[in-house]
Amino acid sequence: MHKKSLKDTNPYLKDHKKYEAALITNVITSSAVESIHIKPAKLLKKSSKHSHQT
């Protein structure tokens, strides 16, 4: 039996805006655990540069 991938079943991964928001939150919180403090605006700038590439 073939299982669907997480990307196919998780609504946050299907919707690009939800995916991006969740990814940024994940990076910020995971980095904070390691005492690395990243501002959301810095990630959003980098994210917008990459999202326009195809």
User: Domain residues for 28?
Assistant: 8-45
Q: How many domains does the chain have?
A: 1
Does residue 51 belong to any structural domain of this protein?
no
Does residue 3 belong to any structural domain of this protein?
no
Give the C-alpha separation, 39 to 50, whole Å.
18
Residues 6+ apart with CB under 8 A from 11: 18
C-beta atoms surrounding 22 within 10 Å: 14
Residues 6+ apart with CB under 8 A from 22: 12
Does residue 13 belong to any structural domain of this protein?
yes
Does residue 54 belong to any structural domain of this protein?
no
Does residue 22 belong to any structural domain of this protein?
yes
Predicted confidence pLDDT, tens digits, the chain (54 residues): 788 888 788 887 888 888 888 888 888 888 888 888 888 777 777 655 555 443
Helices (DSSP H) in the chain: which residue ranges? 6-9, 11-14, 16-33, 40-51
Its pTM stands at 0.55
